[in-house]
Structure 1
Amino acid sequence: MFPISDDNPEPGVPFVTWGLIAACVAVFLLQYSLPPGEAELAVYHYGLIPGVLFGSTEMSDAPMPAWATLFSSMFMHGGLAHLGGNMLYLWIFGDNIELAMGRVRFLLFYLATGIAAALTHAFLVPASTVPLVGASGAISGILGAYLLLYPRGRVRVLFIPFPLILLRTFYVPALVVLGLWFAIQVFSGFMNPAEEAGVAFWAHVGGFVAGMVLVPFFKRRDVPLFHKAQPKVFDARASGRRGPWG
């Protein structure tokens, strides 16, 4: 199952969510406008390297303090698929969380959960010299918040069976979609040593848990936890879908 939109309308315009997507896309375009050698060097300069953060490794030509890469690493990505997957999840789930918190608190929440995710990974591999990049840690925090705020929200998912001719979409409660996603991250984290994994699964876990812990302190007072979403009225020809594919 692959989420492609949700049916959880809230009044308001998610300017911060749009801005974060635009910033990540802009940084990605800047990365890949560089010559190959400079693009790789940029990842090492602005990605989070645990060994540099904790002082076991030095980088003589670092353009910024190691702690600052906790922020810069959130806006870099390792490829088009990496960027596209992250931005899709941010588009689907970020708007509801922004509107439930307000713009300033949402931005602070996003950064805080991104830092929590990065530190989770860094503490597990404190001597690693492999850069960590991507918005997925912060987006995992959004998913954790969404699970507590809208567990009964309807998420439209794409089911990809074999053969592919049977492609179809249907709605699933957010509790199922996000609960399954979290379970996959935990399972993958145990099955793939953090030193060797190409994906920082424990960063996802750390961000998700941070999102669940922090959401009661960042949400507006009039927004309850475990809110029952009110989907739009729709039919098969004109559904009230939201998201880039909706």
Structure 2
Amino acid sequence: MDGRGWRDWPATAIIAAVTTVVSLWLVYSGQLDAAAVKAGVIPLRLTSPGLFDPALFPVPAWATPLTATLVHGGLAHLGFNLVMLVFCGQAVERAIGAGPLALLYGVGAYAGAAVHWLFDPQSALPMIGASGAISAVVGAYALLYGERRAKALGPVPAHLVHVLWLAAAWIGIQFLIAVAGMGGVSVAIGAHIGGFLAGLALARPLLLWNHRHA
């Protein structure tokens, strides 16, 4: 034993593990539909909170951007999200640290929910999944590692080319899952956009903060 506790684990690993355990339990216990309604982001709950009985919706509306990240529509939905989280999260965490990575993930969840709400404030359909939060991690990865992974395209600099390609690929994967009908999940474009923009905005400030406190 090396004396390391769970607090020494990478934040990416903890987030992925918790998400996997909760999501799989909901899928295989038959609780997925109920969890989607109770823990998912319902824009109308934010627009008109008085319409919803607190006894039937025990999770406060303000907390649903976080609880929704633990609910996935099926194995494909969960699997693709985890692949992007682990691949991009490990690299981003090496650059900015575990605490800032967790903060980025949380802010991404709320940013994604906020833009999703802006797209349709009257929607009563629940949004589930960690796509908004993971989009923030993907956005940070694109900005921090873009120049190493892409080439300039005419007047468009390499880092911007990488950002655009990664954003398109990430949303495209989610769209293909929806078209294929895997997991019964639809694509919340607003959540992807909101999370991705949050990642772009926070990547460099968190990188500088981590270096100052290293």
Q: Please state which band the TM-score falls in when normalised by the shorter chain.
A: 0.7 to 0.9
> Aligned ranges for residues 209-224 of structure 1 at < 5 Å?
209-221=197-209
**Percent of aligned positions that are identical:** 35
> Aligned ranges for residues 1-246 of structure 1 at < 5 Å?
15-35=10-30, 38-55=31-48, 57-60=51-54, 61-154=56-149, 176=161, 178-183=163-168, 185=171, 198-221=186-209
Q: Indicate how the Cα distance of structure 1 residues 214 and 222 shifts in structure 2: closer, same or farther if over 3 A, else same.
A: closer
Q: Which residue of structure 1 lines up, in the alignment, with residue 153 of structure 2?
A: none
Q: Indicate how the Cα distance of structure 1 residues 53 and 117 shifts in structure 2: closer, same or farther if over 3 A, else same.
A: same
Q: Which residue of structure 2 lines up, in the alignment, with residue 234 of structure 1?
A: none
The answer to whether the Cα contact below 8 Å between 1:113 and 1:210 also exists between their aligned partners in 2 is: yes
| 1:84 to partner: Cα distance | 0.5
Q: Indicate how the Cα distance of structure 1 residues 67 and 222 shifts in structure 2: closer, same or farther if over 3 A, else same.
A: closer
Structure 2 residues without counterparts, runs of 5 or longer: 1-7, 151-157, 176-184
In structure 2, how many angstroms separate the alpha carbons of the residues matched to 1:103 and 1:220?
A: 14
In structure 1, how many angstroms separate the alpha carbons of the residues matched to 2:104 and 2:207?
A: 10
Question: Which amino acid in structure 2 is aligned with residue 141 of structure 1?
Answer: A
| 1:217 to partner: Cα distance | 1.8
Structure number with the higher helix fraction is 2
Cα deviations by residue, 1:26-71 (Å, 9 ceiling, x for unpaired): 1112202323xx4311110011111112226414411121111111
The answer to whether the Cα contact below 8 Å between 2:39 and 2:67 also exists between their aligned partners in 1 is: yes
Question: Which amino acid in structure 1 is aligned with residue 207 of structure 2?
Answer: K
| 1:182 to partner: Cα distance | 2.3
Q: Which residue of structure 1 lines up, in the alignment, with residue 181 of structure 2?
A: none
Aligned positions, number: 184
In structure 2, how many angstroms separate the alpha carbons of the residues matched to 1:183 and 1:92?
A: 17
Question: Which amino acid in structure 1 is aligned with residue 41 of structure 2?
Answer: L
Q: Taking CA–CA contacts closer than 8 Å with sequence separation of 6 or more, which of the two structures ends up with the larger relative contact order?
A: 1
Which of the pair has more CA radius of gyration?
A: 1
Structure 1 residues without counterparts, runs of 5 or longer: 1-12, 156-172, 190-196, 224-246
Structure number with the higher strand fraction is 1
TM-score when scaled to structure 1?
Answer: 0.67
| 1:104 to partner: Cα distance | 1.1
In structure 2, how many angstroms separate the alpha carbons of the residues matched to 1:222 and 1:44?
A: 38
